[in-house]
Amino acid sequence: MKKILVIEDIATIRLNISRALTFEGFAVQGAEDGYAGVEIARSWQPHLIICDIMMPRLDGYQTLAELRRAPSTADIAFIFLTAKGERGDLRLGMELGADDYIVKPFTNSELLAAVTARLERQDHALALRQQVQDLQLRHGRKDDFLTTASHELRTPLATMRLAIYLLKHTPTPEEQARYLRILEDECLRENDLVNNLLDLKRLESDQPLTLAAVDLRTWLLVCLNLVNYRPRNGSKFSTWTSPTPYPLSSPTASPSNGYSANCSPMPINTPHPRTAGPCASPTTTQP
């Protein structure tokens, strides 16, 4: 329910406005002068304030200036009530930050039209402000992600460059095989990073996502294999064979990226170190 504060020193006018707005479904409070209105606005936080200009002690201009100075009340929509002879003073009110004005005398329909229009514009402005904040937050997160991703993409490349250099200057076949395995590992790592970036791009696009069932036991075996976990004797993981094909696309699902269907890496030139994982021989218990 929208809350409206009516600041008017003439009690009959204040009461008539409050009754008309209450009948239309608004929550309404009244204040007899600017001092009382400022205090109610700070504690109640209304969505809209309707305020007379000519009032004793604290007039409408001073009331508006006081509300605009406080961050908690600076964004509250504000409508002036003015007599026909005060039209020339409305420019000062607009310069102070008033949103609209209603000329006395007015009908209930004119009052309701002004209030409804101002609240709708306020809701639209708040929605736009929220969209801007969301976009700023998304851009900030994207910048952080790109910074991290660029670092992660450079790390395997640096290792591959070092491995290539050592291959050129290593005479023994054993050391060459070792650096070849390092190259294979880093190539797979780089491929996984690129695939993750492509998946993120698809998620950010407008393409609809398709839900599918996932066998968690299969993914658990993949995770264990990635950390080179060796189950103890009697573990169920050592006697369970993962199904093929995988229910969802993953870095281990396609033989084209260097993996076989049972989640063991396919050797290219030399034995891959990940073949020692639990998926290398799913029917044999490893020590």
Q: Please say which residue of 90, 106, 122 terminates a domain.
A: 106
- φ/ψ region of 258 (left if φ > 0, alpha if ψ in -120 to 50, else beta) reads left
The DSSP symbol for 265 reads B
User: What pLDDT is attached to residue 148?
Assistant: 77
CA distances to 91, 180, 267, 272 from 166, in Å:
79, 10, 21, 19
Count how many domains the chain has. Answer: 3
Q: Do 186 and 230 fall into the same domain?
A: no
Pick the closest to residue 266 from 253, 249, 247 (CA basis).
Answer: 253
Is residue 157 one of the residues assigned to a domain? Answer: yes
Is residue 211 one of the residues assigned to a domain? Answer: no
Residues 6 or more apart in contact with residue 236 via CB below 8 angstroms: none
Question: Scanning the structure block, which residue is given the tokens 């607009």?
Answer: 94
Q: Do 10 and 91 fall into the same domain?
A: yes
User: What pLDDT is attached to residue 163?
Assistant: 78
Question: Scanning the structure block, which residue is given the tokens 């095989």?
Answer: 177
What's the CATH code of the domain at 93?
A: 3.40.50.2300
Q: Do 189 and 234 fall into the same domain?
A: no
- pTM equals 0.52
Is residue 41 one of the residues assigned to a domain? Answer: yes
Q: Do 181 and 245 fall into the same domain?
A: no
136 — pLDDT class (breaks 50, 70, 90): confident
End-to-end CA distance of the chain: 69
Q: Do 93 and 24 fall into the same domain?
A: yes
- What residue numbers bound the domain in which 249 lies? 223-276
Taking CA 126 as the corner, what is the angle to CA 34 and CA 112, rounded to the nearest 5 degrees?
55
Pick the closest to residue 7 from 41, 44, 47, 34 (CA basis).
Answer: 34
Ranked by mean pLDDT, the top range of 14-28, 84-98, 232-246, 261-275 is: 14-28
Is residue 173 one of the residues assigned to a domain? Answer: yes
* Residue that wins the pLDDT comparison between 152 and 73: 73
Tokens describing residue 124 = 């639209």
Q: Do 22 and 88 fall into the same domain?
A: yes
Within the chain, what is the greatest distance between any pair of CA atoms?
A: 102
102 C-beta neighbours (distance < 10 Å), count: 17
